[in-house]
Amino acid sequence: MGGALRPDITRARKAVLEWLRLRLLGSWTSILELSKKVPVRGLFSSPAPILEIVHEAMDALCLEVGEEPISSYRLFRELHPVLMLHWRVQAYLVGHLSPDSRMEYCNAIVYDM
């Protein structure tokens, strides 16, 4: 099993999404609701390819968050929740955090992951 599919890494990816959801929308929301707040057309001008190892990691994350993996993830139109780990989406979301939360995010990524 490659590093991208390790259960601890999958749980850490889920934790990042949950943390962002809590900071940006609050505890009464879901990861799906957060994904609907991302302006996909502004971040991706055309469909972007997904590498096989990334596809496998997305499938693992789907199972971790209780979603059914899909046959084809697309970085275009409606954003599947697990695609919020793409660097462009992460940059967009982090850009909407308060300065203190942004520093907390950066420190967690650098030191804990």
pLDDT in tens, 61-71: 888 878 888 88
Distances (CA, A) of 66 to 22, 30, 50, 62, 83: 18, 12, 21, 6, 15
- At 112, the pLDDT band (50, 70, 90 cuts) reads very low
pTM exceeds cut of 0.85: no
CA–CA dist 49, 43 (Å, integer): 14
pLDDT in tens, 34-84: 888 888 877 777 666 777 877 888 888 888 878 888 887 766 666 677 778
Within a 13 Å sphere around the CA of 100, how many CA atoms are in the beta-carbon half? 1
